[in-house]
């Protein structure tokens, strides 16, 4: 009997030890976020590690944050979401293909009504085959314009030339009277998406263009598309654009060094320009044939479908809620990179002047739509526009060739 009791005690002790071991076993959560800190200050890695330190303690888990480069980001994310060792929580740019492939987890059952109501753009997000929202949309902010007031004064230009024709003429005047470059764009960006965000879509909206037809298909071979390409070609014809296709950052760097009169850039660049001693002002957008127009986009945070297979879905939902909370995003926007608030509980506004300018033109802000094969389409359009600048294609041929490639190669 004593042996039997001893055996029971031993079994109970072993079961207890196993239970404790299982309770102490930590889940590992993987989070992929692109790099946003390109200047001085806290690194992306240090910022997010700091955000998740208390989360790890509270949830007895390890969070591995991987900061991803922007080059080929869409391809890397798509591949990562297919793999078993990919991310659980992920920052998403182009979401169309991810949704169609079922790579993102439906979020409706994981988030409370209060959380969903707190997201300003929640209703604009895509729906999966099960009728569930799959992303938390962010407001990436408009592509804003900047001009060097000293260069304009040196050229004798008293008022900002806001319409297309006046802008081209002002650029000619600046180069003739000052010897400085007037305007450059990032046509040498690492992706077509990056190039078009700053150097095509804003003008397309100013020309009255609508990206998608009634069937939800991309359609730019129209009057607005042709007007934009003729407008862009006029810069090359007038010698305003460099003979080279500038890189993603070159135009920004030249403006920051006081060598460039106009630039269109993300809305967080003003501080670096001021720090370099450049006297500058904002302009919301140029005024095209249809009026003002600036683009925004809705990058987002999502959870991988495979997170559920790994048993990480509930933990991933907690992490997603933390990342997108007003408190964390206020810190991110103040310490790392400024974007407009995208939750009702966010409070941080970095630049009151910029906020007032964009608020005044809220009806002139257009979202760049998602569609099938968007990244490949934009890469092809970028390449064809580069060929136009080099004199190898006409504006109409850019449209014809791009849409033919899309129909024959991407859609097929």
Do 348 and 392 share a structural domain? no
pLDDT of residue 296: 84
Angle at 106 between CA 101 and CA 110, to 5 degrees: 155
Do 211 and 117 share a structural domain? no
Q: Looking at the predicted structure, is the pLDDT value of residue 44 above 80?
A: yes
Do 148 and 267 share a structural domain? yes
Do 340 and 211 share a structural domain? no
Do 377 and 231 share a structural domain? yes
Confidence of residue 66 (pLDDT cuts 50, 70, 90): very high
Does some domain include residue 41?
A: yes
Do 164 and 81 share a structural domain? no
Confidence of residue 22 (pLDDT cuts 50, 70, 90): very low
Q: Which residue has the higher pLDDT, 354 or 145?
A: 145
Q: Which residue has the higher pLDDT, 217 or 400?
A: 400
Residues in the chain: 412
Do 206 and 174 share a structural domain? yes
- The residues with which 260 forms a beta bridge, in sequence order, are 181
Percent of residues in the chain assigned helix, strand, coil, to nearest 5: 45, 15, 35
pLDDT of residue 18: 45
Phi, psi angles (nearest 5°) of residue 259: -100, -5
pLDDT of residue 242: 86
Do 307 and 168 share a structural domain? no
Lowest mean pLDDT segment, chosen from 148-152, 243-247, 377-381: 243-247
pLDDT of residue 20: 44
Q: 317: which 2 tokens?
A: 């939902």
Q: Looking at the predicted structure, is the pLDDT value of residue 71 above 90?
A: no
pLDDT of residue 24: 57
Report the mean per-residue pLDDT for the chain. Answer: 91
Q: How far apart are CA 337 and CA 37, in angstroms?
A: 7
Burial 199-224, CB ≥16 within 10 A → b, else e = bbbbbbbbbebebeeeeeebbbbeeb
pLDDT in tens, 109-146: 999 999 999 998 898 888 999 999 999 999 888 889 99
Does some domain include residue 368?
A: no
Instruction: Please state the domain count of the chain.
Output: 2
Confidence of residue 1 (pLDDT cuts 50, 70, 90): low
Percent of the chain with pLDDT over 70: 94
Structural domain that includes position 152: 144-296+373-410
Across 150-176, average pLDDT: 97
Across 183-199, average pLDDT: 93
pLDDT of residue 76: 93
pLDDT of residue 3: 54
State the burial class of residue 263 (Cβ atoms within 10 Å of its Cβ: 0-12, 13-18, 19+): buried
Q: Looking at the predicted structure, is the pLDDT value of residue 97 above 50?
A: yes
Do 154 and 130 share a structural domain? no
Radius of gyration of the chain (CA): 25
pLDDT of residue 72: 84
Q: Looking at the predicted structure, is the pLDDT value of residue 238 above 50?
A: yes
Residue 89: CATH number of its domain: 3.40.190.10
């Amino acid at each position: 009997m004593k042996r039997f009791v001893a055996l029971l005690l031993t079994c109970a002790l072993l079961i207890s030890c196993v239970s404790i071991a299982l309770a102490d076993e930590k889940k590992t959560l993987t989070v992929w976020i692109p790099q946003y800190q390109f200047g001085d200050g806290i690194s992306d890695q240090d910022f997010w590690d700091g955000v998740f330190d208390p989360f790890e303690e509270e949830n007895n888990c390890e969070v591995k944050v991987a900061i991803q480069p922007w080059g080929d980001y869409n391809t890397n994310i798509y591949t990562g979401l297919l793999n078993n060792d990919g991310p659980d929580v992920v920052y998403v740019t182009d979401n169309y293909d991810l949704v169609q492939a079922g790579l993102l987890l439906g979020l409706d059952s994981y988030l409370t009504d209060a959380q969903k109501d707190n997201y300003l753009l929640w209703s604009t997000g895509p729906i999966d085959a099960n009728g569930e929202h799959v992303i938390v949309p962010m407001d990436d902010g408009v592509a804003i314009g900047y001009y060097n007031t000293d260069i304009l004064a040196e050229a004798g230009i008293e008022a900002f030339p806001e319409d297309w024709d006046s802008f081209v003429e002002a650029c000619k005047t600046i180069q003739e009277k000052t010897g400085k470059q007037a305007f450059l764009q990032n046509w040498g960006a690492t992706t077509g998406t990056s190039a078009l965000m700053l150097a095509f879509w804003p003008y397309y909206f100013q020309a009255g263009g609508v990206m998608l037809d009634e069937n939800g298909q991309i359609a730019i071979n129209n009057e607005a598309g042709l007007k934009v390409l003729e407008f862009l070609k006029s810069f090359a014809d007038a010698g305003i654009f460099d003979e080279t296709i500038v890189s993603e950052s070159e135009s920004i760097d030249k403006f920051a060094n006081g060598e460039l009169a106009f630039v269109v850039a993300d809305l967080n660049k003003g501080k670096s320009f001021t720090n370099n001693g450049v006297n500058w002002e904002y302009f919301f957008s140029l005024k095209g044939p249809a009026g003002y127009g600036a683009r925004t986009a809705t990058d987002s945070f999502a959870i991988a479908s495979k997170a559920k297979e790994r048993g990480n879905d509930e933990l991933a939902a907690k992490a997603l809620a933390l990342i997108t909370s007003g408190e964390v995003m206020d810190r991110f926007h103040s310490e790392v990179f400024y974007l407009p608030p995208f939750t009702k509980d966010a409070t941080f506004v970095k630049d009151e002047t910029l906020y007032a300018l964009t608020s005044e033109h809220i009806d002139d802000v257009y979202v760049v739509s998602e569609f099938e094969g968007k990244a490949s389409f934009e890469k092809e359009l970028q390449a064809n526009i580069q060929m136009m600048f080099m004199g190898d294609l006409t504006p109409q041929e850019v449209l014809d060739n791009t849409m033919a490639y899309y129909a024959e190669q991407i859609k097929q």
